[in-house]
Structure 1
């Protein structure tokens, strides 16, 4: 388990910055963190629930959860996920792959990142 040496919340850019030593830094967008929340609301007790319309979501607060995780509070009211150090590191290391998979799932479901867009599939 690696614990970040520095953690910075950037509310204006809606990002969380994680540093691991002097040479390793990751910037995770709030939308990415929100759609990959480890909470039961998102993970669905083993059956993940596709999160849609989170394009504009931001982080409102970060708090330590013991010595093992961060509690992230999002401005859409979601605050039930505890992001363990291991989980945050995996999100950072696999960000490109996880984001690509998420976008593919949205596309396959005919859903959008934009909360103001709603798609309807017509069965003709």
Structure 2
């Protein structure tokens, strides 16, 4: 089952009070190193059963990121601290529960185990997809 929503390009600020629709089985919302394109997402689709986030960018690119990958690149202070000491904070359940806009600059990803502290800016999502997530984090 696919339920979609396309609220237009995300390079436009959301209207006051604009919120994403309720989570459904599949949701859709309309920089390699730090030198990542200035592309913005045109379409973001959460495939819940596969726990994958699919992003189509304004520059024509596309990326599919797994929940496990996104959880391993969580940049919240707790996850970053755990990664620095060599004990990543990854649960057995890195299933993506839902996503929400984090202003106009990125996404907040909420995982099925309740972890919801990480914010993923567009440039960071592009870097993760390009295999440069760690470089982006360390800048």
Residue 15 of structure 1 aligns with which residue? 52
Q: Secondary structure at the match of 2:65?
A: strand
Is residue 65 from structure 1 mapped to residue 102 from structure 2 by the alignment?
yes
Q: TM-score, normalised by structure 1?
A: 0.67
Residues matched between the structures, number: 98
Residue deviations 1:19-65 (CA, integer Å, cap 9, x gap):
11484221100011001101111111993653265454211110001
Residue 31 of structure 1 aligns with which residue? 68
Indicate the structure with greater helix content: 1
Residue deviations 1:76-118 (CA, integer Å, cap 9, x gap):
11100000111111001117x99xxxxxxxxxxxxxxxxxxxx
Structure 1: runs of 5+ lacking an equivalent = 99-124
The 5 A counterparts of 1:1-124 are 1-21=38-58, 23-44=60-81, 47=84, 50-51=87-88, 54=91, 56-94=93-131
Q: 4+ residue stretches of structure 1 with deviation over 3 A? A: 52-56
Rg larger in structure: 1
Q: Secondary structure at the match of 1:50?
A: coil
Q: TM-score, normalised by structure 2?
A: 0.60
Alpha-carbon distance in structure 2 between the residues aligned to 1:28 and 1:91: 8
Q: 1:55 to 1:93 in 2, by over 3 A?
A: farther
What RMSD in Å do the two structures reach over aligned CA positions?
2.8
Alpha-carbon distance in structure 2 between the residues aligned to 1:48 and 1:56: 22
Structure 2: runs of 5+ lacking an equivalent = 1-37
